[in-house]
Structure 1
Amino acid sequence: MSGVGPIEPGEGTTPRDTPDSLDVEGTSRGSGHREGSPLARLLATHRRAVLAAATAVLLLAGGGYLYATRPHESQPAAAAPPFPSQVVDVTYLGGHAVPPGTRPRTFAFDVLLGVESGPAVTVTRVSQPYDGLSLTSAPPTPFRTRAGSAREIVITMHVTECGKVPRNAGLPFLDVTLRNARAIQVHSYILGPRYAQDLSEALQVACSNDSR
């Protein structure tokens, strides 16, 4: 036959396939988009935005978790109040007249009890070391004294048995039971030479006859 028909493409002359198309959901059906194409750049930008948002959410969630579980910083502990014996002072003031009609062999004297600082102190008991003496106080125990104040106390003693009291009291003392918010303590207060002398004289007068 003569004539020229359509030219058949030769081997190796077939044009390259066009880029794979996207489906309706925007996912590639082929091996991927070529780098640098407008669509590839758009997808890369979208992925970076999603990753940045997810990272921010994780960081915020992680920070909240750390904050919630971080132990609270310990506050400095409040200083404990002082022991009552550290802030109480007892001072001897001198003899005190006993009322008329008081039973024989009884005498009295005054002391001043002061509380320097800290919580209030309660005196629950006042006593002395001699078996032959009984003791009462006015005000009667228990009584309370606030910090920064002082209270005058009348101590009255009665000789119950002269054979059990010293004729010459060398270093007589009072045992005072103290209580505050910190502790309960029994403290011995030596009231000094003046108290020792007055107590010795009172005992000699009380036990000077044979009615011991």
Structure 2
Amino acid sequence: MTGIGPVEAGADTLLRPPLAPAPPVPAARRRTTAALAALAVTALCVPGLTEPRPPAEAPPPWPTQVIDFRYGGATPAPHGDGALSFAVLLSGEEDEPVTVEDITQPSVALSLTAEPEPPFTVRTSSAQKTIITVHVRDCGKVQRNAGLPFLDVTLRNKRAIQQQSFILGSGYPDDLTAALQRACPHNSP
């Protein structure tokens, strides 16, 4: 076909009867169909939302739960000035290393030093010997009986930083009392 003109019907296009209009769908049926479609989509999505997630990794234990402080006995004082030097045995109990940030004691009459000097790290399942030396700063304020002396220790690991007071026991109070009486003989009973 060439030229300009109206479009004419092709062969066999006028022989069919016209289609009847579709009857209207009731509103209730539309709502039911929409609800079923929404339910189908939800059924496809929910299994992904309700699948169990792998459990979260447990946090590491607190530093004070995985380190042990034990009195290791008196050792010769490095300067011979009446100070008490003693060993503390530190050991880790878990796979988490713990860093000893600081070691102090509460008496204003005493000071202490530690070797190795904090901070130092105590490794897993290993014992580390630390030498602590207690120096008398003021004999007038020294207690005559050490009673239950303790060390304040600051510990750190991946989980937290904690301060803990350790009572060493097993000979430490007696050794400390004897050293204090030697350093300050006028305070002896």
Q: TM-score, normalised by structure 2?
A: 0.72
Q: Which runs of 5+ in 1 are unaligned?
A: 1-22, 33-61
Q: Which residue of 2 is the match for residue 90 of structure 1?
A: 69
Question: Residues 29 and 134 from structure 1, CA distance in 2 versus in 1: closer, same or farther, beyond 3 angstroms?
Answer: same
CA contact (8 A) 1:171 1:193 kept: no
> 1:30 Cα deviation (Å)?
3.7
Q: Deviations over 1:119-172 (max 9, x none)?
A: 210000001111111111000000011121121000011101012221111111
Taking the aligned partners of 1:111 and 1:25, their CA distance within structure 2 comes to 108
Which of 98, 108, 111 does residue 121 from structure 1 map onto?
Answer: 98
For residue 135 of structure 1, the aligned residue among 99, 112, 131 is: 112
Aligned residues: 156
Task: Write the distance in 1 (CA, Å) between the matches of 2:11 and 2:98.
Answer: 89
3-state SS of paired residue (2:171)? helix
Question: SS of the residue aligned with 1:70?
Answer: helix
Q: Which runs of 4+ in 1 moved over 6 A?
A: 23-28
Within 5 Å, give how 1:191-202 maps onto structure 2. 191-202=168-179
In terms of Rg, which structure is larger?
A: 1
Which residue in 1 is equivalent to 2:5? none
- Distance (Å, rounded) in 2 between the aligned partners of 1:146 and 1:162: 38
Report if aligned partners of 2:71, 2:170 keep a CA contact under 8 Å in 1: no
How far has the Cα of 1:118 moved from its partner?
Answer: 3.7
Give the distance between the partners of 1:172 and 1:114, measured in 2 at CA.
Answer: 21
Gaps of 5+ in 2: 1-9, 20-39
Relative to the length of structure 1, the TM-score reads 0.65
Deviations 1:45-91 (Å, cap 9, x if unpaired)?
xxxxxxxxxxxxxxxxx88xx46993364221111110010111100
1:106 Cα offset (Å): 1.9
Q: Which residue pairs with 1:148 in the alignment? A: 125
* Percent identity between the two aligned chains: 46
1:79 is aligned to 2:88: no
